[in-house]
Amino acid sequence: MNTMLTTILIVLAVALAALGFWLWTPDLPRDRLEARYFAPNGAYVDVDGVRLHVRDTGPREAPAIIMLHGLGSSLHTWQGWAEALDDRYRVIRLDLPAHGLTGADPAGDYSMGRWVALLDGLMDTLGLESAALVGNSMGGRLAWMTAARRLARVSALVLVSPDGFESPGFEYGRSPDVPALMGLMRHTLPAFMLRSNVEIAYADKSTLGDDVFRRYHDMMRAPGNRAALIDMMGQVMLVPPEPLLAAIEAPTLLVWGEQDAMIPVGNAQDYLDAIAGAELVAFPDLGHVPHEEAPARSLPPVADFLDRHLAGDGELETD
């Protein structure tokens, strides 16, 4: 009996060790990530101790557009829109702290107040008095909060399925409870587990290409990003957005996929009610990231809005 029990325990230990080895997902070396994702037109810009990964393309003298990605994403999510707009606009994209090649904020501060200040500092460093802000989801919240607090710096506002209103688990004035199991993400992030989470952002999951998914997975495995994301999630603090939204003076366009499974299109009405003169364009068959799921199809109304309010010229290419 003792021999049988010992054998069973050894088999279980070996099985658990094998499972742990299979699930273990180490960080990727930074030099490998930079070789794959740091473009010739990329740069690192130091702002208040944070080394922001930035891409800055288009004519220097043209009206500027700054694009802000959502949770778990990176500046690459805007590739389709950026390539079609930087013939006549200065298009700036960045990896927000805890994301992409930017990585963790040494100060450990992931509050929206900190991010508004970092965006302010980036604009100062780049010599921009003002810019149009284009933000998706979490980046949308950063965009509208900046527009509310820095009125003179935001020339136009495009909010792509932005967050900011409370929902189950995310209540005003209270940081969310981060499940203890989420801490395991520091050590394990198998591709099959992450794919199911990324696919939620797409209405047509077949359009999530392997190269795009690989980028999501790689960027999550950048050194320190997973620990920083866990810290960031614990610092989320929503405030009632209506007073801030009512203060926005920049012309505003809302963009939403009606198949958004993360932030329902019904939330668009809250923004329309709160932001004077805001417009809405909705896509019946797209999800949470229309700019990534169908960039050529989702861009024209956005480009028209920007052309009207930024006085841009030139012909748009959406091939």
pTM: 0.89
Rounded to whole angstroms, what are the CA distances from 179 to 169, 182, 219, 230, 231? Answer: 11, 5, 22, 10, 12
Residue of 164, 142, 163 lying closest to 154 (CA atoms): 142
CA atoms within 13 A on the CB side of 81: 33
Residue 23, pLDDT score = 60
Which residue, 100, 119, 82, 125, is CA-closest to 38? 100
CB atoms within 10 A of CB 5: 9
Tens-digit pLDDT profile for residues 84-135: 999 999 999 999 999 999 999 999 999 999 999 999 999 999 999 999 999 9
Strand arrangement of the beta sheet that strand 42-47 belongs to:
42-47, 50-57, 90-94, 64-68, 131-136, 154-160, 252-257, 279-283
- The type of residue at 314 is G
CA angle at 121 for the pair 118 and 127, rounded to the nearest 5°: 145
According to the model, what pLDDT value does residue 170 have? 79
pLDDT at 280 over 80: yes
Measured in whole angstroms, the distance separating CA 33 from the mean position of its chain's CA atoms is 18
Q: Can you give the pLDDT at residue 318?
A: 39
Nearest in space to 68 (alpha carbons), one of 147, 152, 133, 153: 133
pLDDT over 70 percentage in the chain: 89
Question: What is the rounded distance in angstroms from the CA atom of residue 151 to the CA atom of residue 145?
Answer: 10
pLDDT computed for residue 9 by the predictor: 38
| Token pair listed for 101 | 């090649």
CB-CB contact of 258 with 284 (8 Å): yes
Please write the tens of the pLDDT for every residue from 233-247. 889 889 999 999 999
> How far is the C-alpha of 230 from the C-alpha of 302, rounded, in Å?
33
Q: Residue 116 CB: number of other CB atoms within 10 A?
A: 18
The Cα angle at residue 148 between residues 146 and 152, in degrees rounded to 5 = 80
Determine the average pLDDT of the residues in 265-276: 97
Beta carbons of 135 and 67 less than 8 angstroms apart: yes
Average pLDDT over residues 144-167: 96
What CA–CA distance (Å, rounded) separates 74 from 221? 12
| Residue 22 pLDDT | 42
Q: What tokens does 174 get?
A: 């209270």
Query: Between these two residues, 174 and 243, which has the higher pLDDT value?
Result: 243
